[in-house]
Amino acid sequence: AAEFISEFPSSKVVIVEPKIFSPNGDGFNDRLLIKLSPGEPDQLVNIWIYNESGLEIKRLANNLLIGTQDVVEWDGTTENHQKAGLGIYIIQVELFGLQGKRTQFKTACVLTDRLE
C-alpha cells in the first residue's frame, strides 16, 4: 500500500474507502465512499475531485447539508458524466460549521479497471 495516500489528519472526520476502487460494474468496489463524521449536526460540505494535474473533474457536493454522520459516493464519472480515466485522483473535502468554522481535508484515491 502506498503511503502517500493518507494525507488526512488522524481524526476520523473524513474517511475515504476503498482507497483503490474500480467502477466497472462488477459489484466489487465500484464506488468510492466518502464517509463524513463531523461530530455535530448541520454542517455544509463541499467536495471536489481533481485529476493528477490538479484539474477539477467533478464537483461532488456543493453546500450539501449533512448530519453528524453521512456518506457521499463517487461513481468514477466526471462532471459531464463520462467515465474518468484510470489513475490517481485527489479528493478535497471542505466542511463549514454553523459557527463559521471551516475545515479542509485532502486525500488521494486510485481509480483502476480491475482489482485482482
What integer pLDDT is reported at residue 116 of this predicted model?
58
The amino acid present at 69, given as its one-letter code, is Q
Virtual torsion, Cα 71, 75, 81, 87, nearest 10 deg: 120
Label residue 47 exposed, middle or buried (CB < 10 Å: 0-12, 13-18, 19+): buried
The band of 1, judged by pLDDT with boundaries at 50, 70 and 90, is: very low
> Which tens digit of pLDDT belongs to each residue from 37-53?
988 888 999 999 999 99
Closest to 19 measured CA to CA, from 2, 44, 41, 37: 2
DSSP line for 92-113: EEEEE-TT--EEEEEEEEEE-S
Q: In what order do the strands lie in the sheet with 20-21?
A: 20-21, 102-111, 87-96, 43-50, 56-66
Beta bridge partners of 17: 33
> Which tens digit of pLDDT belongs to each residue from 56-107?
999 999 999 998 999 999 999 999 999 999 999 999 999 998 788 899 999 9
